[in-house]
Amino acid sequence: MNREEALALVRQRIKNKNLVKHILAVEAVMRALANRFGEDPERWGLAGLLHDIDYEETAEDPQRHSMVGADFIQSLGVEQQIVDAVRSHNEAHGLPRETLMQKALYSADPLTGLIVACALVHPEKRLEPLTAEFVMKRFGEKAFARGASRHVISACADMGLALEEFISIGLDAMKRIHAALGL
């Protein structure tokens, strides 16, 4: 499956525009992380694009989220490493994250939410003026963007990345696609 096919599938199955923007943000961060680690950005980007392919279908039953999506993309012949990353990104299943791709997707998912929340509280309501320092400060505020799990974002250490470097990579990646994100 290539990016165009994956994106068409996302647009077919996901109707919520903000969820599509989230998916695009995770794709961008995954591509940037692939570049950082010398991995294939196309493959890593696909993991980001497909990670929430079942979200609208499983929204009422979070225990099924990522399992349904992983089974679905596996049935389409998507590479097993991507399927495994999609399956293990939902912490509710308690699946081990053994590969670098799995660890990256797990931490990138909530990072995008934190960065979007930071953009929305910034006076300019855009990504461009944000700095990693600004995001780090908000990261430390427990009441801010509660849905962006700090413990999951901090798991970037499992990839050998310091939190500030991880945030910087994610922020830079999202700035590159700011128009698609509406920020």
At 116-132, the pLDDT tens digits run 999 999 999 999 999 99
Q: Are 28 and 169 in contact (CB under 8 A)?
A: no
Q: For all residues of the chain together, what is the average pLDDT?
A: 97
**Average pLDDT of span 34-41:** 98
Alpha-carbon distance of 178 to 37, in angstroms, equals: 23
Q: pLDDT exceeding 90 applies to what percent of the chain?
A: 97
**Structural domains in the chain?**
3-181 (1.10.3210)
Q: Is 33 exposed, middle or buried (0-12, 13-18, 19+ CB in 10 A)?
A: buried
Alpha-carbon distance of 77 to 57, in angstroms, equals: 20
Q: Tell me: pLDDT of 167 over 90.
A: yes
**Which amino acid is residue 49, in one-letter code?**
L
pLDDT value of residue 80 = 98
At 56-100, the pLDDT tens digits run 999 999 999 999 999 999 999 999 999 999 999 998 888 999 999
Alpha-carbon distance of 151 to 77, in angstroms, equals: 33
pLDDT value of residue 75 = 97
Q: Tell me: pLDDT of 18 over 90.
A: yes
At 129-164, the pLDDT tens digits run 999 999 999 999 989 999 999 999 999 999 999 999
pLDDT value of residue 85 = 98
Secondary structure in 3-state letters for 8-75:
HHHHHHCCCHHHHHHHHHHHHHHHHHHHHHCCCHHHHHHHHHHCCCCHHHHCCCCCCCCHHHHHHHHH
pLDDT value of residue 24 = 98
Q: What is the DSSP letter of 92?
A: G
pLDDT value of residue 93 = 87
Q: What is the pTM of this model?
A: 0.97
Q: CA dist 157 to 8, 22, 161, Å?
A: 33, 23, 5
| Per-residue confidence band for 44, with pLDDT thresholds at 50, 70 and 90 | very high
